Amino acid sequence: MRYSCESRIRSYMKEVNNFISNVHPTARDAYKRIIDLMSDKLKSAKYNGCYFDRREEEAVRLCTTEGWFSCQGPFDRDDCPCKHSINPYSNKESRILFSTWNLDHIIEKKRTVVPELAEAVKTRDGREVNWEYFYQLLFTIDNLKLVHIACHKKTGHNLSCDKTKIYRKRKQTHEIS
């Protein structure tokens, strides 16, 4: 199950990487540097495979110690109205069914997060892009929900990135007189 999660997260990284062709030519080097930082962080986090590993600490996994996963509901709800649950550890059929569940981005990856990252890099004007904020939105459960296929809404989410987190805060210097 760990590998299944790692594979999903790797595919998200690949999408971020493939977006480089849409990045303004003058910003591509900076975008590539950010991709490299994200990639290094993902590798050190073992592609967040812990989310699907029942042996992991409760705080980082999305299942019980027995391997039961519960749908977290659509992006615009706090829970699953149908109470979907599954144990892909129990048998092959359940593993196959579990593969149809989505790790859905609350703030959409393709429509919002990745284009916003590209725009931030292009218009940074000396500011430092807060790549860790984008990493959080793209690859962590801060912005990912495990959703049964019946609860997965394909409509636009109409949510945006937090404009106050796109760039790092500058350290203020105080003059001593």
pLDDT at 131: 98
Q: For residue range 26-82, list pLDDT tens digits in order.
A: 999 999 999 999 999 999 999 999 999 999 999 999 999 999 999 999 999 999 999
Distances (CA, A) of 84 to 17, 62, 74, 79, 94: 33, 14, 12, 10, 13
Beta strands in 19-121 (DSSP E): 69-70, 85-86, 102-105
- Identify the residue whose tokens are 């391997």: 67
Name the percent of the chain lying above pLDDT 90: 92
Task: Please check whether residue 122 is in contact with residue 152, taking contact to mean a CB–CB distance below 8 angstroms.
Answer: no
Q: For residue range 140-164, list pLDDT tens digits in order.
A: 999 999 999 999 998 889 999 999 9
